[in-house]
Structure 1
Amino acid sequence: MSNVMAKDRGWAWIITLTSFISMGLGPGTMKSLGVMLPTLRQQFSTQTWVIGLSISLTTAIGVVTCPFAGALSKRLTPRHTVMTFSILTVIGFIMASLATSVEFLMVALLLTGFSVGADAVITGEEAIWFDKYYNISIAISQAGLSLGIMIMPPMTQLLQDIYGWRGTMLLLAGLNLHRLVCGALLQPLQTDPVELEDKDFFKRSRKRQLQENSVITNLVHYLDLSLFTDAEFISMLVYRLCSGYCFTGWLIYLVPHTMELGFQPYESSFLATIGGFGNLLAAILYPILKICTPDKTILYLATFIITFALGLDPLVSSYHSYIGLAFLSCIYVLATGMTWLSVYKIVKHVVEDDKMTNAMLWMNVADSIGGICSGFFSGWTFDVTGSFTLSFLLLSAISLLALCPQFIVDMRGVWKARKYASL
């Protein structure tokens, strides 16, 4: 007889709730730091790219923490991993509020990046807990990201005006403490008692086997390095890397970009709220589109829309059109949300459940690498040229480049199908 803690029902929807909260906290917090960028630049009397790089370090640590989180989840449990990483994240924000130099701020924000590993573990658990209703579950989680982007930027601007940037950092620490509760709610998936007993026996046997194996064999097991033999998975990794570059650049530099055009801080931060509304639309529309449209078709179409939105930004900015910038923000984040949801589904189709957590963690590693590069190069381009025109044009080009590996994989599949059909 099946236990109540089975796929697509019961506790599975609690996992969706935890993912909803964590997805809102992650990008929402980074957008808050983007709002604080002009203040931090003035406070520490430094260049734009230095603060931009410091903020991007919130995802940079994901390059290290995500593989570590995957191995720790296998060795211990996802619950303990998320709770530990959440505490380290909160400590990082508290340290940031005490920063007296850029170097100290960088170290503090590096610690906050443990949230990347925690969020990826939760996302992996969500993929494991769902089959039939996975489209609906990830759409609900995406709605959490939307609300985070919509609410946190103007809220951060308000808190900064009232409490200063140090007080705002402490309040961000309090908000991120909610991730600790999310970790406490994670439960192992259970089905048939006989199957559970078989799994326990397999785990004990596997543990004895690993103790006898070499270090390299253990690394392959705990980090699921065999994932890198799958061309489809690698193409999605490259896509997430380029997507992470574009989204981090937009997330950090949108507010400074619009303020540089002459708009007020509250007007600039509200553009991020409009972008969050676009992501909310993606969460609503995706399950509907999935009824009649394959994931890869959605991925291709949404990527072209992203390229269009980012490429038009310099033209709209030259006219100082607030409505135009708001429209581009909305459709950019709408299309980005569609691509993320499509990538999650494609990965779920090509990866087995026992490797799903590490698959999602490696996706976040790629996203983090893209974020690090964008935090530096997008800010450095502004410092060199004096405007964000070239930065946004590069984001547009890189968004289109993201499709190249997946296009090659798809063309290879078409060629093979035609070859077999001709035999």
Structure 2
Amino acid sequence: MACRPQPIGTYSEGGWGWTIVFGGFTIMFIFNGTLKAFGVLLITIKDDFDTDLWMIGSLGFLHYGLFYAMGPMAGAVARRIGSRYLVVFGGMIYGLGLTLASTANSVILFGVSLIVMAGLGAGCAYETCRVELVFYFHDKFPIAYVLLTIGGPIGMMVYGPLTQVLLDTYGWRGTMLLLGGVSFHVVVCGLLIRPGKHSVKDYNKVSLNDNDDVKHPERGTSSPVNCFHDFLMIAGLDVFRNVEFLILSCARMAINIGHAGVIIYMVPDGLSLGLNTTQASFLTSAWGFGSIIGLSLSAFITQRKFISNRLTAAISGLITAVCFAATPFLTTVTCQFLIISLLGVGAEGVAQTLAVSTRNLPFSDDRQFNVQGWQCFLVGISCTIGNIIAGWLYEATGSFQATFVMFCGTSVVTSVCLLVDLIRLRLIGQRDE
């Protein structure tokens, strides 16, 4: 049975890498916590600007989408100047954007501050800190990744109820100003990343085509074929020649539509179902609790290899789909807490497993900036389009039922993509690692 090439050289499997994990944990804590805080502030901001809910919600989705859509540019810059400087710059712009958003006197200025500035800053740092892990971990990558990523759900657990308290005390502008101040800590986390070249050796270069025996033209020539090839390599577009990359990207695009949707609309949906503001704000704690379980469980399964990665992610996707379908119809506080927790288990289980599968793609470590960058770009586009449609569905129907049914459908698409890829790997005799 064919299997993937093993890395040459050695990895520290820790060392300074654990410092990177700590810094990334803090960055995830701040970014995801702030995103959840925006969900708590959503209705108050809508009322203050006297506009529609879908309009303010769309600004949140565009902000979230830019986390990912900046991926290719961030990857190219990180390979040129290093991750440290990029994350530090991103932290400064992110904190400044949130601070300016608290002073905006119109929807346009609020959107520019939240999307162009804060979204740009987050896009510089969000995936960059995750990619840094590939230079320190291989065998322990699932554990390191989950310890870094778990900062996101913990941040949501803390920020959700805390934001409601700050909102009642200082209003949404004072709360946003405080969030901006805390966000400058991303700069400190960026300084934890070591500058310069990494000592880890690259993976063996693997041809993207099984029958690719064609020699490339000499670099000194200026033929159109040679120029086109150089352009593909510089931009990292050659990753799209890998079928497995395309399938994993499609799966991630589909699941992240619902992932972003539940983060933004979780509290408004709870309020529409009859929960009071305190109960609705604590739904974020339920989501965070479930997310921690989902991340930890999937990391344990992928580390121990009890079942294949794609099967694990496909099952998690189906759990997510069922929860999305049931969420609008379970109106009691207990049921909402339970279903939101299960949503966190499923959605984060998919995210963790897809991250490990993407790390195992046959690309060298330094190419992970391109792999993650373009995958994130696709995710950013899908989240932006998908969740603007979700907002329109809410405005058209007056409830979140149709919106959450749409999220259910995208979760099913994720599971189908992964099962199809699993069958493809079995047919070609390749193992799912």
In the TM superposition, what is the alpha-carbon distance from 1:289 to its structure 2 partner?
2.2
In the TM superposition, what is the alpha-carbon distance from 1:377 to its structure 2 partner?
1.6
- After superposition, the CA RMSD in angstroms is 2.3
Q: Distance in 1 between matches of 2:160 and 2:145?
A: 23
Q: In 1, are the aligned partners of 2:28 and 2:151 still within 8 Å (CA)? A: yes
Work out which of the residue numbers 187, 190, 198 in structure 2 matches 1:180: 187
Work out which of the residue numbers 419, 422, 425 in structure 2 matches 1:410: 422
Q: In 1, are the aligned partners of 2:299 and 2:352 still within 8 Å (CA)? A: no
Paired residues for 1:181-220 under 5 Å: 181-187=188-194, 188=196, 190-191=198-199, 219-220=231-232
In the TM superposition, what is the alpha-carbon distance from 1:374 to its structure 2 partner?
3.6
In the TM superposition, what is the alpha-carbon distance from 1:219 to its structure 2 partner?
4.4
Could you report, residue by residue, the CA deviation over 1:170-229 in whole angstroms, capped at 9, with x for unpaired residues?
11112211111111111156438xx89xxxxxxxxxxxx79x898755543343211111
Paired residues for 1:3-402 under 5 Å: 7-62=12-67, 64-110=69-115, 111-114=117-120, 115-187=122-194, 188=196, 190-191=198-199, 219-290=231-302, 291=304, 292-316=306-330, 320-350=331-361, 351-402=363-414
In the TM superposition, what is the alpha-carbon distance from 1:256 to its structure 2 partner?
0.6
Q: In 1, are the aligned partners of 2:26 and 2:151 still within 8 Å (CA)? A: yes
Q: Distance in 1 between matches of 2:29 and 2:188?
A: 14
> Alpha carbons of 1:216 and 1:46: their partners in 2 closer, same or farther (altered >3 Å)?
farther
> Alpha carbons of 1:215 and 1:7: their partners in 2 closer, same or farther (altered >3 Å)?
farther
In the TM superposition, what is the alpha-carbon distance from 1:102 to its structure 2 partner?
0.8
Q: Distance in 1 between matches of 2:227 and 2:84?
A: 26
Q: Distance in 2 between matches of 1:294 and 1:277?
A: 25
**Which residues of structure 2 form unaligned runs of 5+?**
1-9, 203-218
- 1:205 maps to none
> Alpha carbons of 1:124 and 1:51: their partners in 2 closer, same or farther (altered >3 Å)?
same
Q: Distance in 1 between matches of 2:69 and 2:421?
A: 28
Q: Distance in 1 between matches of 2:98 and 2:321?
A: 34
Q: Distance in 1 between matches of 2:162 and 2:16?
A: 32
Q: In 2, are the aligned partners of 1:7 and 1:189 still within 8 Å (CA)? A: no
Could you report, residue by residue, the CA deviation over 1:80-102 in whole angstroms, capped at 9, with x for unpaired residues?
11111211111211110111111
Structure showing the higher helix proportion among its residues? 1
Give TM-score, length-normalised by structure 2: 0.86
SS in 1 for 2:126: helix
Matched residues, number: 397
State the AA in 1 paired with 2:406: L
Q: In 2, are the aligned partners of 1:19 and 1:126 still within 8 Å (CA)? A: no
Mean Cα displacement is larger for which, 141-150 or 283-292? Answer: 283-292
> Alpha carbons of 1:401 and 1:376: their partners in 2 closer, same or farther (altered >3 Å)?
same
Q: Distance in 1 between matches of 2:244 and 2:174?
A: 45
Q: In 2, are the aligned partners of 1:235 and 1:406 still within 8 Å (CA)? A: yes
SS in 2 for 1:273: helix
Q: Distance in 2 between matches of 1:382 and 1:265?
A: 20
Structure 1: which 4+ aligned runs deviate by more than 4 Å?
A: 212-219
State the AA in 2 paired with 1:238: C
Q: In 2, are the aligned partners of 1:94 and 1:169 still within 8 Å (CA)? A: yes
State the AA in 1 paired with 2:294: A
Q: Distance in 1 between matches of 2:63 and 2:403?
A: 21
State the AA in 2 paired with 1:156: T
**Which residues of structure 1 form unaligned runs of 5+?**
197-208, 419-423
Q: In 2, are the aligned partners of 1:81 and 1:118 still within 8 Å (CA)? A: yes
Q: Distance in 2 between matches of 1:324 and 1:249?
A: 19
> Alpha carbons of 1:262 and 1:129: their partners in 2 closer, same or farther (altered >3 Å)?
same
Q: Distance in 2 between matches of 1:131 and 1:388?
A: 42
Q: Distance in 2 between matches of 1:215 and 1:65?
A: 25
State the AA in 1 paired with 2:395: D
Q: In 1, are the aligned partners of 2:135 and 2:198 still within 8 Å (CA)? A: no
State the AA in 2 paired with 1:89: Y
- 1:421 maps to none
Q: Distance in 1 between matches of 2:99 and 2:401?
A: 35
